[in-house]
Every structure is written in C-alpha cells, then in structure tokens.
Chains A and B, each alone.
Chain A
Amino acid sequence: EVHLLESGGAPVQRGGSLRLSCGASGFTFSDYAMYWVRQTPDKGLEWVSVISASSSNEDYTDSVKGRFTISRDNFKNTVYLQMDDLRVEDTAIYYCAKSPDAVPGERFEYWGQGTLVTVYS
C-alpha cells in the first residue's frame, strides 16, 4: 500500500524558512516523479513543484520560483521542499503527491495527509 507522510509544517514569521519532508513507502520511490501541492480555503488546490524520479528535472509555480527548492533522496525514500523568504500568502496545507510515471505525469496518483504551514507577519 502506498503511504506518503509529510512533516515539517509549523508557524513561521514572514521572511523565515522551513523545510518540509515527505517520507514514502509501499512503492519503488526512485521510479516515480513527486509533486508538492498546496491548499487554502481561498485559492483551493494549487500545484507548487515537481521533481522527476532521477532529480534531473524540476519545476515550480511562478509565485515560488527563487524561494522554494524541491529535492529528493532516493536512498531515504524522501522528497523535500525547502521554503525560504516565506510570505503570508504561502500559508496553506502542503501535500506531497506521487506521479504515475518517472517523469511528471498529468495526474496526482496518491497524496499524503498534508502538513500545515502558517506564515504570520
């Protein structure tokens, strides 16, 4: 059974940093691309970042480019999201999700339970 478990969410002051982690089990982690998606009551679901299975490709939504960095450790079966220069509008529940392929696919096959990031001013 696929299982994704996020951690690292916390309250943080504007301009601060956080690193989110997502531990994976139940599948061959190194064979699949992984995503981060966030959710707020106002904006709904929003794709944030993606990394290919081999880490050769990564991408970000415009609002986080230059501030967030996605990475993965295929030996630890973990994907990370380093979040710097946080803004109030980054406040959201952050989910990691699994792609159905080694490269970014069109859908999000499995989701973690989410971790809450709250940025205060």
Chain B
Amino acid sequence: QSVLTQPPSVSGAPGQRVTISCTGSSSNLGAGFDVHWYQQLPGKAPRLLIYDNIVRPSGVPDRFSGSKSGTSASLAITGLRAEDEADYFCQSYDTSLPAPWVFGGGTKLTVL
C-alpha cells in the first residue's frame, strides 16, 4: 500500500489530454510538501518530469504540466503522443514516517 494514491492506469488517444491524480494526506501534500512527478519509459530508469508541483526541468516538453491543491495533485499531458506511453509516479515528503521520501504506486499510461 503506497502512501500516495494513484490510479493504476489511464489511457487516451493521440492528441488527447489525460490527467493522472495523486492523493496524499495531511502529513505530506497537505502539510505543504511539494509533489514531484517521474516518467519511467519501459525498461528505463525514472526521469524527473515535474518538480515542486509545477516546474518542468529543462528539456521536458510543455505538454506536461502539474498542479497541486491541498492533499491532491495532478499531472496533465496534452497533445498525447505514442512516446508518452510509460509509467508515471508521484513522490513527496512525509515527516511523520521513518522513511520520509514517499511514492505513489504508479500509473500506467496507454496511448491507444
């Protein structure tokens, strides 16, 4: 059971917009800790996609955007492309836990 909750899967057709939710609690997202998103392409290592809720690292297309409100966060992908098919993980920080770096269980994005 992951500390952050994500839907196991989402799907969309090329060109469409999809969103992936990440739900936390009052001890992580609700406590003001930022959410970070990672993309993991098949057989590859995770890659930082969005940090501090809304910031895209250099090289990440602006089709990817993040938001956060209260104990929830979302990753939005617009103009869906075949190469976006991957697993997406949210991550935050939780000082109430002995292992403070916490992850969501991951969401498999399928491009139809």
- Name A's B-contacting residues (CB within 8 A): 35, 37, 44-47, 61-62, 95, 106-114
Interface size class of B (residues with CB under 8 A): 20 to 34
Known: A45-B46, A107-B51. A61 touches B98 (CB 8 A): yes
Interface stretch, picked from B9-17, B63-71, B77-85, B86-94, is: B86-94
CA distance in complex: A44, B103 (Å) = 8
B48 lies within 8 A of A61 (CB): no
Q: What would 6 A/B residue contacts be, using CB atoms closer than 8 Å?
A: A37-B101, A44-B106, A45-B46, A106-B101, A108-B46, A108-B91
A106 lies within 8 A of B99 (CB): no
Q: For residue B47, which residues in chain A have a CB less than 8 angstroms away from its CB?
A: 111
B99 lies within 8 A of A61 (CB): yes
List the B residue with the shortest CB-CB distance to A47: B101
B48 lies within 8 A of A107 (CB): yes
* Residue from the list A35, A44, A108 in contact with B48, Cβ < 8 A: A108
List the B residue with the shortest CB-CB distance to A35: B101
List the A residue with the shortest CB-CB distance to B48: A109
List the B residue with the shortest CB-CB distance to A100: B51
